[in-house]
Chain A
Amino acid sequence: MLHAAPAIEVDRLVKDYKTTRAVDGISLSIAPGSITGLLGGNGAGKTTTITSIMGLLRPTSGTVRVLGSDMNRERHRVLHRMNFQSPYVDLPGRLTVRQNIVTFARLYGVAHAKERAAELADELDLNEFLDRATSKLSAGQKTRVALAKSLVNDPEVLLLDEPTASLDPDTAGWIRDRIAAHARERGATILLASHNMREVERLCDRVIFMRRGKIVDDATPDELLRRYGRADLEDVFIDVARGTERQTETETAL
Chain B
Amino acid sequence: MSARYSAFSPSRIAAMNARQWYVLRSSWPRILEIIYWPAISMITWGFAQMWVGQESGGTFTVAASTLLGGVILWDVLVRGSLGFSITFLEEMWSKNIGNLMMSPLTPLEYVLSLASMSLIRLFIGLVPVTLMAIWLFGFNIWSLGLPLVAFFLNLIVLGWSASLVVSGVVLRHGLGAEGMAWIAVFVLMPFSAIFYPVSVLPEPAQYVAFALPSSYVFEGMRALLIDGVFRADLMLWAAGLNLAYGAIAVLVYLRVLESARTAGTLLSHND
Give the B-binding residues of A (Cβ under 8 A).
Answer: 17, 48, 51, 54, 56-58, 76-77, 79-81, 83-84, 86, 88-96, 99, 103-104, 106-112, 116, 119, 133, 149, 153-154
Contacts and interface: CB of A to CB of B under 8 A. Distances in A.
B163 to A, nearest CB: 20
The 10 closest A-B pairs by CB, nearest first: A106-B15, A89-B98, A90-B95, A153-B3, A109-B4, A92-B94, A103-B19, A80-B3, A58-B261, A107-B103
A32 B22 CA distance: 38
A108 B9 CA distance: 10
Contacts of A57: 261-262, 264, 266-267
B43 interface: no
B3 A92 contact: no
Given A56-B261, A111-B4, 10 more contacts: A56-B266, A77-B5, A81-B5, A84-B102, A88-B95, A93-B94, A103-B16, A103-B22, A109-B9, A149-B99
Contacts of B27: 94
B19 A154 contact: no
Nearest to B105: A107
Contact of B96 (A81, A90, A116, A133): A90
Interface of B: 1-7, 9, 11-12, 14-16, 18-19, 22-23, 26-27, 90-91, 94-106, 258, 261-264, 266-268
B95 A110 contact: no
A56 B102 contact: yes
A149 B97 CA distance: 14
B97 to A, nearest CB: 8
B22 to A, nearest CB: 5
Contacts of B99: 89, 91, 104, 149
A88 B268 contact: yes
Contacts of A77: 5
A54 B94 contact: no
B18 A103 contact: yes
Contact of B15 (A79, A94, A103): A103
A76 B106 contact: yes
Contacts of A56: 98, 101-102, 261, 264, 266-267
A108 B264 CA distance: 23
Given A56-B261, A79-B102, A107-B15, A94 B3 contact: no
A116 B15 CA distance: 15
Contact of B19 (A58, A95, A153): A95
A178 B9 CA distance: 31
B271 to A, nearest CB: 15
Contacts of B18: 99, 103, 106
Contacts of B3: 80-81, 108-110, 153-154
Contacts of B5: 76-77, 80-81, 109
Contacts of A99: 18-19, 22
Contacts of A108: 3, 103-104
21 contacts: A54-B102, A56-B101, A76-B7, A76-B104, A79-B102, A80-B5, A80-B104, A84-B102, A88-B268, A92-B22, A92-B91, A92-B94, A92-B96, A93-B94, A104-B103, A107-B104, A108-B103, A109-B12, A111-B1, A133-B26, A154-B2
Contacts of B90: 92
A17 B103 contact: no
Contacts of A111: 1-2, 4
A107 B16 contact: yes
Contacts of B11: 106, 109
Q: Choose among B14, B90, B264 the residue with the greatest number of A CB atoms under 10 Å from its CB.
A: B264
A106 B2 CA distance: 11
Contacts of B101: 56
B161 to A, nearest CB: 24
B103 A79 contact: yes
Q: Choose among B23, B91, B98, B100 the residue with the greatest number of A CB atoms under 10 Å from its CB.
A: B98
B36 to A, nearest CB: 20
A96 B266 CA distance: 24
A90 B99 CA distance: 8
